[in-house]
């Protein structure tokens, strides 16, 4: 398996340049349980192509920051960890618009808390498959540029109820894709979600 640099090493490497995009990728829960080579045999989603997803997000010379979380990671403390690492980037001179947090399923829930904790209207976020119709959560108040991506055949869907309850959103867009893969669409670097996510990271909010 390709060796991945840890978030800490990436964030404090002396060779960093701050004119590039920084993408935090937060994976789904199955990676916590099985590791980077996770395979779903219960729902027939197949292999979670974690490393392929990271490679797909490195287009346009983006620096991708990701790690395999510990099993049963607590969402809120981990979101605060990511928020602190974003703060470190900003203090080092990275523009907030260069930072994007992409979360899948449980990773998207973490990303939502990062948005709520960071309270920065210029940071970009991509939430995938973590919202449910008419869902409310008083702890979540989104800030930033929010792209919501969900699959038509999946149980998770629109984030509009949470969006409408938020006060810090700069740009917002939702995309419904239709691959027929249910929740398994997250397991692969499909262009249906990768391309919009990369455009969002580049500041293309009118796609």
At the topology level, CATH places domain 20-201 in Rossmann fold (3.40.50)
Domain-by-domain residue ranges, the chain? Answer: 20-201
Asked if the model's pLDDT at residue 3 lies above 70, the reply is no
| pLDDT tens per residue across span 57-98 | 998 889 999 999 999 999 999 999 999 999 999 999 999 999
Confidence band, pLDDT 50/70/90 cuts, at residue 202: very high
Element (H, E) at 34: helix 29-34
Q: Does this model's pTM top 0.95? A: no
Work out the mean pLDDT of the chain and round it to a whole number: 91
Phi, psi of 97 (to 5 degrees): -65, -15
| Cβ-proximal residues to 86 (8 Å cutoff; 6+ apart), any chain | 24, 99, 101, 114, 118, 120, 123
> How crowded is residue 70: how many other Cβ atoms within 10 Å of its Cβ?
9
The answer to whether residue 11 scores a pLDDT higher than 80 is no
């Amino acid at each position: 398996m390709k060796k991945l640099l840890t978030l800490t090493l990436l964030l404090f490497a002396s060779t960093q340049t701050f004119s590039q995009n920084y993408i935090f990728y937060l994976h789904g829960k199955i990676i916590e349980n099985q590791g980077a080579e996770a395979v779903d045999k219960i729902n027939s989603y197949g292999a979670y192509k974690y490393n392929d997803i990271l490679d797909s997000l490195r287009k346009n010379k983006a620096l991708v920051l990701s790690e395999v979380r510990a099993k049963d990671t607590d969402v809120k403390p981990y979101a605060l960890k990511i928020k602190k690492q974003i703060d470190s980037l900003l203090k080092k001179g990275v523009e907030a618009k260069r930072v994007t947090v992409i979360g899948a399923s449980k990773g998207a829930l973490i990303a939502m808390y990062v948005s709520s904790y960071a309270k920065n209207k210029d940071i970009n976020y991509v939430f995938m498959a973590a919202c449910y119709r008419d869902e409310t959560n008083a702890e979540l108040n989104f800030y930033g540029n929010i792209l919501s991506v969900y699959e038509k055949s999946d149980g998770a869907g629109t984030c509009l109820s949470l969006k409408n309850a938020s006060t810090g959103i700069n740009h917002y867009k939702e995309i419904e894709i239709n691959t027929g893969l249910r929740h398994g669409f997250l397991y692969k670097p499909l262009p249906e979600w990768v391309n919009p996510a990369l455009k969002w990271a580049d500041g293309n909010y009118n796609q």
